[in-house]
Chain A
Amino acid sequence: MMSNMLELAAIRSGYGAVVALHEISLEVRQGETVVLLGVNGAGKSTTLKTISGLLHPTRGTITFQGERIDRLAPETIVRRGIAHVPEGRRVFPGLTVRENLLMGTSNRRVTRAETERDIARVLEIFPDLERLYGQMGWSLSGGQQQMLAIGRGLMARPVLLMLDEPSLGLAPVIVKQVFRTIEMINRQGVTVLLVEQNVNLGLKVAHRAYLLENGRIIRAATTDALAADQEFRRSLLGASGHGAD
């Protein structure tokens, strides 16, 4: 039995007056890949933002490696080992690819040699980035930015890597590459929590999945079980959702 690395207990969170998550409870175990599924606005991104500290829950607790982190600032949480690759990639537009990667190490003290070693490791995963090394973030295409954002997340040497829609806006060939990478990272021992709109890909890469709707978890299952369930796919389009009940 694997131990729980991350545990959300009855989390309520949102933006100002808008409650986006009502009583979310979930756990991520050491070494797993977990995917959050659901239509737009179901609360997937909000869940990641609440874990990484960009949002603070108004109720409930978040425990990471046995310690509560729900009151901590993002700067502190990333030091504990959670890297969040946010929605929309958010690479620094006025910094070069190299400088963007360098920023990823801001969560700890590193030597120059260590930094170079980590950069080399990222370039091994995303060889395309090497060619773009001196280019500014804004000048990259969407796919290149996505690779840079994931690479920058890896530079933090996280134990838990959270990825928000890594396939968004990418060409299919790049998507494959990104997902191979996620699987590889996970095999190297990094626990992964993923938000993905491409359900088929999400179900393939992850061990377990949570289905969110309207800020609540309506289903938790292994990905194998969900993949076999045809009704589940239909429900993801939402047409047979709460309109029928």
Chain B
Amino acid sequence: MIKPILKFLPFLIVLALLPLMLPAGRLGAYYLTLLILTASYAVAALGLTVLLGYSGQISLAQAAFFGIGAYTFAILGVHDGVPFWLAAIAAVAVAAVFGLVLGMISLRLASHYLALVTIGFQIITQLVLANWHALTGGPDGISNIPRPSLFGFALQTDEQFYWVSLAVLALAAYVVYRLRNSRLGGALLALREDEIAAAAYGISVFRTKVMAFSIAAALGGLGGVLYASGSLYISPDVFSFYQSVSFFAMVLVGGRESIVGTILGSGLVTFLPEVLRFLQSYTVAVYGLLIVVVVLFLPNGLYGALADGVGFLRSRRTAGAAPAEQLAATIATTAPRPVATSETLLEIKDLTKRFGGVTAVNGLNLTVCKGDVAVLIGPNGSGKTTVLNVLSGIYAANGGGIVFRGGTITNASPNQVHAAGISRTFQNIRLFPELTALENVVVGYFSKGTVGLAGTLLSVPRGYREEREAVAKARETLGALGFSRFDVRAKHLPYGQQRIVEIARAIVAGPTLLLLDEPAAGMNHEETAALSSILYRIHELGLTMLLIEHDMSFVASVATRAYVMDFGQKISEGSVQSVLADPAVIKAYLGDDVEYA
């Protein structure tokens, strides 16, 4: 808890001193109200940082949650005389519940549907606020909204209220910061980057998204409370679709992944009309243009562009110092390789998978014993990758069964397959490109964690312990594979190293069976040789493996048993040497010696 506070302290001090720097008189007072406004907007925008920036979900209803928070607070505080802080907490809770419900009914939808449902919710909310006279006062709104007091000390002036807002903003920022750096934050980012890969490492797509949605709604509601209390008066027109677009703009302009960026973006968007006043009626147009320009040219926002620039300079400076890494050259492979047992680990019986009229896998039978490095080979289009995808729960089988360690896992979800102890890598490497190598591997450890949202936000010690453990485990696993460029983003790693990171991510949680889909594809000789020794090493650690591979010399060097597929069926099995000598296999690879002319 100390580190983030120290990190953001200078920024906070500057913000806290802002009111003292304002000009005197009416202009200063006006600027102060804008600052209060900015703080309330920034809290709501931080909610979008979580939803849009971290989990990658689009919502155009943030102003609705802002409004729900503001109105709940105002109705409780003004009409029912509920004390300030109690009304505020209730307002946040009500907004969160709305967010939870909206999330649950809409998150199964693809993103464009989701966007529309949120717009629908936004429009309905605004209509209700404007027309339910008895509760909301209709278009007249609600006035005389109270300001808080603390320990009997009334905080009534704008200046005092600004500091209250700042404290709330700091709290919101801490919540978002804590979330980002927790196990759940890793899950959110993983979802944004690649849902299929995230699910393959035990992250529940639905639950994680709903969580992001309710956090966003709760922060929207909290911002609404600040807004209502700061303005002392609310009316429905503030909580419009346009305000939702504005929140969007704040997050995008600042940098959708950055807390500081979002706060700066909120300030910028709020103060922009003042700066652009000379443009008069073009102000809003420039606003729209700004969104377009930022999206087109600065995908990470202003703050992101700044950070990228600094990072680029820094990496330029250190690039010369770090020599190109020799992959895994130092891995010792002197220990004897474990011998395959006769104990059945995985049994595939009569597996069939059809896509439309095409039968990709046609009654496949296959047994992998504990301790095997089994390899599935066969010509292009023979159904190997489909087998792996059915095995890991991505596709449902049309027939047959899969038994793993005595339990049936036929058509289990990717989550369940992962929980059973099967982990995998993907043919076209599915790392989370914007996450660092280390973060990628930490996500692989997700299923080992136990601390939920409440524990994370309350900063329970166990959460920190688990996070440290995950990081230590990730470092250890990467280290064991001879990899040390922990803090490089996955998308910046060379191809061969991406493979290593993906393998580390797959084994960090200690699975029983590892599925590898063409691990050597696209690698050069040196990388392939390094990969062989890495697989030796993993084998020594006691993992059973099933891999698909085309590079026969690589196969010959690692596999203990080979299965050959053609046209969705197994045509041969045995040692690598024996299957490669099998006439049926040679025919499958080289083709019939047909006369056609």
Contact = CB atoms under 8 A, between A and B. Distances in A.
Contact of A175 (B580, B594, B597): B594
B593 to A, nearest CB: 5
Contact of B380 (A20, A168, A180, A183): A168
B6 to A, nearest CB: 37
Contact of A239 (B380, B518, B521, B580): B580
A238 B552 contact: yes
Nearest to A214: B524
B430 interface: no
B553 A242 contact: yes
Nearest to A139: B357
B485 interface: no
Contacts of A204: 596-597
B580 A237 contact: yes
A101 B202 CA distance: 47
Given A169-B381, A179-B596, A238 B551 contact: yes
Contact of A168 (B381, B494, B521): B381
Contacts of A201: 591, 594, 596
Contacts of B577: 239
A182 to B, nearest CB: 9
B525 interface: yes
A243 B553 contact: yes
Interface in B554-597: 554, 556-557, 577, 580, 586, 589-597
Given A40-B550, A239-B552, A172 B592 contact: yes
Contacts of A183: 597
A39 B551 contact: yes
A110 interface: no
B591 A197 contact: yes
A41 B553 contact: no
Given A237-B552, A243-B556, A41 B522 contact: yes
A13 interface: no
Contact of B596 (A138, A168, A176, A239): A176
Interface string A208-245: 00000010000000000000000001001111111110
A175 B557 CA distance: 35
B379 interface: yes
Nearest to B528: A242
Contact of A242 (B518, B525, B596): B525
Contacts of A180: 596-597
B552 A39 contact: yes
Contacts of B498: 17
A107 B238 CA distance: 55
A200 B592 contact: yes
A33 interface: no
A197 B272 CA distance: 63
B356 interface: yes
Interface in A152-174: 165, 167-169, 172
B596 A200 contact: no
Interface residues of A, number: 39
A136 interface: no
Nearest to A178: B596
Given A180-B597, A238-B553, A167 B591 contact: yes
B591 A17 contact: no
Contacts of A233: 590
Interface in A92-109: none
Nearest to A43: B522
Interface in B468-524: 494-495, 498, 518, 521-522, 524
B172 to A, nearest CB: 38
Nearest to A196: B591
B381 A198 contact: no
A177 B518 CA distance: 33
B110 interface: no
Contacts of B597: 179-180, 183, 204
Contacts of B495: 17-18
Most buried by B among A20, A141, A177, A242: A242
B358 interface: yes
Nearest to B586: A237
Contact of A199 (B554, B580, B591): B591
A233 B357 CA distance: 35
28 contacts: A17-B494, A20-B522, A40-B379, A41-B522, A139-B357, A167-B591, A169-B381, A172-B594, A175-B594, A176-B594, A176-B595, A176-B596, A177-B596, A179-B596, A179-B597, A198-B591, A200-B591, A201-B591, A201-B594, A214-B525, A237-B552, A237-B586, A237-B590, A239-B553, A240-B553, A241-B551, A241-B552, A243-B552
Interface of B: 356-358, 379-381, 494-495, 498, 518, 521-522, 524-525, 550-554, 556-557, 577, 580, 586, 589-597
Given A238-B553, A242-B553, 16 more contacts: A40-B380, A41-B518, A41-B521, A169-B381, A172-B594, A175-B596, A176-B594, A177-B596, A179-B597, A183-B597, A197-B591, A199-B590, A201-B591, A205-B596, A238-B552, A243-B552
| Shortest 8 CB-CB contacts between residues of A and residues of B | A243-B553, A198-B591, A238-B552, A176-B596, A40-B550, A179-B596, A199-B590, A241-B553
Interface of A: 17-18, 20, 39-41, 138-139, 141-142, 165, 167-169, 172, 175-177, 179-180, 183, 197-201, 204-205, 214, 233, 236-244
